[in-house]
Amino acid sequence: MNKKIGVLFLILFFSSPYFLKPAEASVNIAFYIDLLSPNTDPERNQWIMLIQEQLSKIGIGVRLHESTTWDNIAPRTWSYPLIDYDYIPTYAEGGYDLLFVKWSWDLDWDPTDLYSSRCLYPSGNNFYQYNNTTFDAKLDKYLTEFDPILRNKYSHDMQKILYEDLPSICIVYPRFLFAYSTNSSYIDWFLLSISNHRAENWLDYYDSVIKYAIPEKLTEPNIFVQKTFYDAQWMQCVYGSLYQRARYNHEWEPVIATDAVYSSDYKNLTITIDPNAKFSDGSPVLAEDVKYSYELYMTPAVHSSNYDYLTKWFTTNDSIEIVNPYTLNFNLTQVYTFAHSLLSYSIVDKSIADPAIAAYGYNIFNEIPLTGNVLDTLVKSCGPFMLDVYDSVNGSVKLLPNPYWNNLTASRGIQPLLDELYFIPFSNTDFVHSELLAGHIDIMDYHFEPLPCIFWDFGSYDCYLVKELAHEEIAINLKHPIIGTGELTPVGTPEAARLIRKAISHVIPRSEISDSLSYLPRPGIIPMPDSCIGFDDSLTPYRYELDSAIYYIEQAGYCVEGPCSVTQITAENCLLILCILGLSSFYLIYKRKPSFNRMNNR
């Protein structure tokens, strides 16, 4: 009788809700992942913690969030050393699961490096390890289509594929905020934010002078080795180029050129130079000046930051041929729908630069402009302005109008509208604000991060919010056996992994993140900034929906909430179960042993 009671006790005990714990008590963790992020942005880590909390609500546990340097991130992602695997493995195996990262783009969106199967790691930069033949086919058409309507169609097709496949999950689109005097006008703030501004159109109603406050000193002396954003700002005003972005619609338009004509196979561009184009000393801009300038970009000893890009499209110096003093042929290595970007590089006067380099070598690229051996050799160009003062101590410059700018066909006979243009560094944001209020400066750069609430109360100043050519995302390792290939999900298919990625996108509180960040972002949609040409504005952000997210996780075969078909024993009571099993076994053995002894005594 005692034995039956003991067995009945054990059956009832182990059948109780304490041990058979159905999912309605809490969300069950379906699987665990690890997070990786750069430690360059404290705000990013704040919303990563928020996302981590949301993941736990749909059954995705986070073992570790490593916020670290790029030197530590690279060997886990695009620079994985191929020691143990011939692909990028999971975080636990030395690779990564999810990477939080910000990417910057060009105005013409080209996703080849990151998403084309031709660029799969380790031969390229596609560290997502994304491989979709349909996407590749659309990309090939996009990059070789010269009809803008058809090109946009292919772009939209690619965007929809990325929206569904989610090799990366876009979180937010950042924004810039400029503060400026209301006396200043005709400024295309977006072009200014990418150093492609058209300062010849700027106007100041008060004194025809604009003083632009920047947060760091100017340090690079010339265009060929220019590396910093703010050096590019003043150089954009001084150096002329064949083509530039137009104000407001941001399409390419001729400036020093009059036109660019494609050959029938689209591998050659014939460029005609405006015969009225002149350098700031009045000498004409000739085909030899253009060819020579491009040769400098493609000379290794110059250390141009554009060397790799240009040599991809022009194999040798002979790829650019002089037809006559005002005509050139640009022969490309292959068809390139964005070839006009290759015509946007700055031009110097060969008749002055070439003898200076012959006499003093490439060291002149390191000399301070307007001094020493270089003098004005490398800053005499055909842009709308010319360099008047280069203050290497304070890191500022003063520009004056190019007196020959109005000769251009593109200028329509009009000189730059400013008499003087200054780029002045400041180290203190509060001081810049006070200088703006006092009328001593006209533009406060967005890197000072001016807050709208500071400026909107002042009638003589305004702010302009600019779309950044960037997006914040979660990069997905598509070789991860759960969130990438799906082979270790209960369903065991790639579709299961895609559903899990959709679930992750649905638990990102994009609006909450956007409202909390100082740089005024907008909820993200796809890994293409909404500032790029051809952005598909019919797509909308994945909504924050826990129910939808849990549904997708369960479609992948996991039990997240509600009664599950398989009894789930929780980790916190597992040890207790083992202890009671041991005690129960001991009890049954103990109860049986006296009976054995009694039988022997008979």
The 8-class DSSP code of residue 283 comes to P
464 in any annotated domain? no
Q: Both 350 and 404 in a single domain?
A: yes
Q: Both 535 and 586 in a single domain?
A: no
Which carries the bigger pLDDT value, residue 402 or residue 576? 402
* Averaged pLDDT, 454-478: 83
Task: Select, from the ranges 99-103, 516-520, 562-566, the one with the highest average predicted confidence (pLDDT).
Answer: 99-103
Q: Both 220 and 349 in a single domain?
A: yes
Give pLDDT, residue 18.
Answer: 38
362 in any annotated domain? yes
Alpha-helical runs (H) found in 350-428: 350-360
On whether the CB atoms of residues 223 and 235 are closer than 8 A, the answer is: yes
Among all chains, which residue has been given the structure tokens 């929206």? Answer: 163
Sign of the dihedral through C-alpha 437, 443, 448, 452 = positive
On whether the CB atoms of residues 234 and 397 are closer than 8 A, the answer is: yes
Which pLDDT band, with edges at 50, 70 and 90, does 4 fall under? very low
Q: Check whether 22 has a pLDDT greater than 80.
A: no
The 8-class DSSP code of residue 409 comes to T
343 in any annotated domain? yes
Residues whose CB is less than 8 angstroms from the CB of residue 178 and which lie 6 or more positions away in sequence, other chains included: 189, 192, 193, 443, 444, 445, 446, 450, 463, 464, 466
Q: Which two tokens stand for residue 326?
A: 């005002």
Cis ω on the peptide bond leading into residue 122 (within 30° of 0)?
A: yes
Q: Both 384 and 236 in a single domain?
A: yes
Q: Largest Cα–Cα distance in the chain?
A: 129
Give pLDDT, residue 457.
Answer: 53
Least confident of 38-52, 68-82, 328-342, 370-384: 370-384
Cα separation, 222 vs 392, whole angstroms: 13
Q: Which two tokens stand for residue 562?
A: 């509600």
Q: Both 543 and 594 in a single domain?
A: no
Among all chains, which residue has been given the structure tokens 């080209």? Answer: 110
Q: Check whether 1 has a pLDDT greater than 50.
A: no
**Strand 443-444 relative to strand 209-214, pairing:** parallel
Q: Check whether 394 has a pLDDT greater than 70.
A: yes
Which carries the bigger pLDDT value, residue 222 or residue 128? 128
Chain segment 180-191, per-residue pLDDT in tens: 998 999 999 999
448 in any annotated domain? no
Give pLDDT, residue 452.
Answer: 64
Which CATH number covers residue 413? 3.40.190.10
On whether the CB atoms of residues 23 and 560 are closer than 8 A, the answer is: yes
Give pLDDT, residue 374.
Answer: 84
Q: Check whether 21 has a pLDDT greater than 50.
A: no
Q: Check whether 565 has a pLDDT greater than 90.
A: no
Sign of the dihedral through C-alpha 172, 173, 174, 177 = negative
Q: Check whether 588 has a pLDDT greater than 70.
A: no
Give pLDDT, residue 188.
Answer: 95
Q: What is the pTM of this model?
A: 0.84
Q: Both 8 and 56 in a single domain?
A: no
Count structural domains, the chain: 3
Q: Both 266 and 394 in a single domain?
A: yes
Chain segment 32-68, per-residue pLDDT in tens: 999 999 999 988 999 999 999 999 999 999 999 999 9
* Averaged pLDDT, 402-407: 95
* Averaged pLDDT, 252-277: 96
205 in any annotated domain? no
Which pLDDT band, with edges at 50, 70 and 90, does 210 fall under? very high
Task: Select, from the ranges 277-286, 357-366, 580-589, the one with the highest average predicted confidence (pLDDT).
Answer: 277-286
Beta-strand ranges (E) seen in 69-140 are: 98-104
DSSP reduced 3-state for 99: strand
DSSP reduced 3-state for 205: coil
Which pLDDT band, with edges at 50, 70 and 90, does 220 fall under? confident
On whether the CB atoms of residues 129 and 436 are closer than 8 A, the answer is: no
467 in any annotated domain? no
Q: Both 123 and 240 in a single domain?
A: no
Q: What are the φ/ψ torsions at residue 376 (nearest 5 degrees)?
A: -105, 20
Which pLDDT band, with edges at 50, 70 and 90, does 447 fall under? confident
DSSP string covering 513-540: HHHH-TT--EE--SSS-TTSBT--TT--
Which carries the bigger pLDDT value, residue 331 or residue 227? 331
Q: Which of these, 273, 268, 270, lies nearest to 242 by C-alpha position?
A: 273
* Averaged pLDDT, 389-410: 95
Give pLDDT, residue 333.
Answer: 95
The region, left, alpha or beta by phi > 0 then psi within -120 to 50, assigned to residue 495 is: alpha
203 in any annotated domain? no
Q: Check whether 26 has a pLDDT greater than 70.
A: yes
Domain end among 369, 396, 425:
425
Q: Both 272 and 365 in a single domain?
A: yes
Q: Check whether 19 has a pLDDT greater than 80.
A: no
∠258-225-190 over CA atoms, to 5°? 55
Q: Check whether 445 has a pLDDT greater than 60.
A: yes
Range of the domain at 39: 29-174+472-555
Q: Check whether 10 has a pLDDT greater than 60.
A: no
The overall average pLDDT reported for the chain is: 88
Q: Both 582 and 550 in a single domain?
A: no
255 in any annotated domain? yes
Q: What percent of the chain has pLDDT over 90?
A: 73
Chain segment 299-341, per-residue pLDDT in tens: 999 988 889 999 999 999 999 999 999 999 999 999 999 999 9
Give pLDDT, residue 458.
Answer: 54
Residues whose CB is less than 8 angstroms from the CB of residue 153 and which lie 6 or more positions away in sequence, other chains included: none
What is the signed CA dihedral for 313, 317, 320, 325, rounded to 10 degrees? 160
First to last CA, the chain: 22
Least confident of 140-144, 150-154, 247-251, 261-265: 247-251
Q: Check whether 593 has a pLDDT greater than 60.
A: no
Q: Both 302 and 390 in a single domain?
A: yes
Beta-strand ranges (E) seen in 405-453 are: 420-425, 443-444
Which pLDDT band, with edges at 50, 70 and 90, does 372 fall under? confident
Among all chains, which residue has been given the structure tokens 């783009």? Answer: 105
Which carries the bigger pLDDT value, residue 10 or residue 289? 289
Q: Check whether 259 has a pLDDT greater than 60.
A: yes
The 8-class DSSP code of residue 284 comes to B
Q: Both 375 and 517 in a single domain?
A: no
Which amino acid type is present at position 505?
S
Per the document, the length of the chain is 602
